[in-house]
Structure 1
C-alpha cells in the first residue's frame, strides 16, 4: 500500500493545479485520473478558456487577481507562455432586469481597486468595427482579459507536478475514499490498481463528485449539462487577430454568450454559456445539439458585422457540473475535515492555479491565504447563469 501526504482525485484543470501546488510545498503527493490524460469527457480539454478579473461579484474578482499571480508562477516554473492577454469586454443591456448588470461589474472591479473602461455601443463599434450591438447596450472593458490555452495548461501543470516528484496515475479510477479510524488517521483510497493511503484527500472530480461523497455521508446538489462551443471561419480571419479583436461576453435576453479572437488557426470560437442542456453522466451523447448551434449562429449573425460571412467548421462538446447559484465549492467536508472539495461550476478554469494553491494550503498548512468564505457547501440547487 502506497502511503502519501496528499492524494488528489481527478486530474483536470483543478486537480492538476492541486497536485502541482501541493508537491512544490514538499508533500508526498499522488494524483488519480479515471480516464487517459487529456481526455474529452470533462471540461478541461480543447484550446482556449477566458481569463479575466472582470466579474459581477467582488469575491471572484479578488480570487481572479490572485489567479493571475499563480498563472505567472506556473509560466515561470515550466518556461512556457500559457496566457495571451487581448483585453476584453462584457456587453450588457443598460436597462437589464435579469442576470448581471453593468453596475455589478463596475462595483466589483472598483471594490478590488481594478481599472476598467465603460463604453457605449458606439464606442465599442468604433474600437472594434467587427462587432455590432444595439444602442441600448453598454460594455465594461478590462485590459487584463485574455485567453489560456486549455489543454496545454493542464499538461503544463502535470509536467511541473511530476518534475517535483508527484506520482500521477491515468486510467486509474478511484472507487472509494474510506476513513481509517478517527479524525487525523488518514484515508484508504481504493482503485483497480490497488489500495493507497493518504493523510489528506482533495476531490477535484466535478460531475463524479457525489459518487465519492455519498459513502462519506455528504452530498452536493449538482446539475449536469452537456455544453458546446463552435468554431467559425470569418470572411477575413486577419480582422479577428488578437491584436485587433477582444475576448468578449454578451448577456442578452437572459442568456450569456462568449467568444474569442483567432487563436492558432483562422477561426473564431464562440458559445452560449449555461445552455440548460441537462444530460446525466450515463446518458451523455457527445453529439452537439443542432438547436443550440442554430441559436448561436443566429446570435453571431447579429453580433458580428454583416460584412463577415461566418462559415461553421466544427462544434465541440464539454461537460458542466453546476452547483447551486453556480458558486464555487472550495473547502473541507464538515464531517471529514481532511477531505477537501474543489468544484468550479463550469467557470473555474481561469482560477485553476489559485484554486490548486488553496487546496494545497488547506491540506498541508491547515488554512489558506485566500478568502474563500463565500464558497461554502450549498444547501439547495438554484443555479443561475454566471460566465
Structure 2
C-alpha cells in the first residue's frame, strides 16, 4: 500500500513544524516525518529561548525581520498563545570590531528601522549592570524580543495537528524519488507519494536530498549555552537582550521564563565557538573549557551574574556564507529545501509561510532571491567560509 498526501515535510524542528502548520492551515493534506522523537534535543530547536530582532547586516535581512514580527503575531493570534516577550535588544561593537557596525546601521537606515546609538558611558548609565570597555558602540532597538524555542515547536505541532496534519516521530526518510508528476518517499513503515516535499532536516539535509544527487556543503558544529545564577534578579530586571559583536562573539538574555513565570537565571553563549561534529556521533556532555571562556567574558561585562548552574549542547548547521537556503532543488522543483544556517529561529513562522508558498506555487512574495542552492557559496569548492554576522 502507498499512502498519498499533498505535501510531505521532512524534519519537524522549528522550520519544518512551521511549514506543516502553514500548509495545513491552507487546506493541504500534510504528513510530517521526523527521524527522532518530536521535540527532541539532538538538533537546534530545543531549550528555552531565542532572539527576535530587527538588527541585521543587509537590508534584505532587515526587511525579512519585519515580516517575521508580523508572522509571529499571526501565530500568536491563531494559536491563542503569547510567544513574543519584548525586552529590547542591544548590539555591542567594541573598538575595531570583527563585525562592522556600519553594515548594521546602513541596513537599518535603508529600511527605516529606528535605533539608539550609544557610547560606553551611555550604555552603563542606561543599564548599570553592564560594563563595556571605552570605544564600545551600542545599538539599541526597542523591539528586540525573546521567543520560546521548545515551547514554540510544541505549539506548532498542536496547531498543525488541529488542522489535520499527520506528524510522525521516528520516521527517517530512507529513499526519495522524483517520478515527474509526484514524489515517492520511502520510510521504514512503507512508501508515500506526494505532490511536493519540504526538506527541513537541518544537519541531516544531505541524507534526504542526496537521493536526488544533490549535496549541500554544510558544516555542523556542537555549541553550548550556559545558565547562570542571579543573586539579585532586580539588578538585571531591565537588562535587554545583548550580542557582543566581535570575534569571539557572545550573546545573552535577561532573566526569562518561557511560560511566563518567575525567572531566576540568565542564559548566555558563544556564537560559532564549538567543534565540528558528525550529527549522529556527538556528545551531549557539557564542555568545561567552553563554559570557562564564556564565564570569563560575563564576569567582565555583567559582574552581577552568579555562578554557572548548567550547560546545554545544541547543533549549528552552517552554510559557508551563513545565509539561509529557501529554494527548490534544481531540476526537482517539487522538492524545496529550508536551511536556517543557525540564525533562523527568529524567522520560524516566516520560513513556514515561504516554504509553503514555494512547494505549492513555486513563488513567494518574500524576497528570498539570495537564498538559492545555485549561489557561489554552495557551488564553488574553494569558497572561503565566513560565519560572523
Does TM-score exceed 0.5, indicating one fold? yes
- CA deviations 1:102-152 (Å, max 9, x no partner) are 211111111111111111111111111111001111111111111001111
Q: Distance in 1 between matches of 2:16 and 2:234?
A: 36
Match of 2:112 in 1: 113
Answer yes or no: is 1:248 the counterpart of 2:215: no
Match of 2:384 in 1: 382
Q: Distance in 1 between matches of 2:147 and 2:272?
A: 20
What's the offset of the Cα at 1:95?
Answer: 2.6
What's the offset of the Cα at 1:160?
Answer: 1.0
Over the aligned positions, Cα root-mean-square deviation in angstroms equals 1.2
Q: 5 Å matches for 1:193-272? A: 193-241=189-237, 244-252=238-246, 254-264=247-257, 265-272=263-270
Q: Distance in 2 between matches of 1:289 and 1:56?
A: 30
Q: Distance in 2 between matches of 1:276 and 1:260?
A: 20
Q: Contact (CA 8 Å) 1:273, 1:385: kept in 2 or not?
A: no
Q: Distance in 1 between matches of 2:242 and 2:89?
A: 5
What's the offset of the Cα at 1:287?
Answer: 1.4
What's the offset of the Cα at 1:309?
Answer: 4.8
Q: Distance in 2 between matches of 1:91 and 1:368?
A: 34
- CA deviations 1:160-219 (Å, max 9, x no partner) are 111111111111111121112x3xx11111111211111100000000001112221111
Match of 1:297 in 2: 295
> Runs of 5+ in structure 1 lacking a partner?
none
> Runs of 5+ in structure 2 lacking a partner?
258-262
Q: 5 Å matches for 1:67-146? A: 67-96=68-97, 98=98, 100-146=99-145
Q: Distance in 1 between matches of 2:339 and 2:328?
A: 12
Match of 1:283 in 2: 281
Aligned residue for 2:342, secondary structure, equals coil
- CA deviations 1:271-312 (Å, max 9, x no partner) are 00001411112331111221111110100111113xx25211
Q: 5 Å matches for 1:5-16? A: 5-16=6-17
TM-score normalized by the length of structure 2: 0.94
Q: Contact (CA 8 Å) 1:240, 1:268: kept in 2 or not?
A: no
Greater displacement, 283-292 / 339-348: 283-292
TM-score normalized by the length of structure 1: 0.95
Match of 2:260 in 1: none
What's the offset of the Cα at 1:56?
Answer: 1.4
Q: 5 Å matches for 1:24-43? A: 24-43=25-44
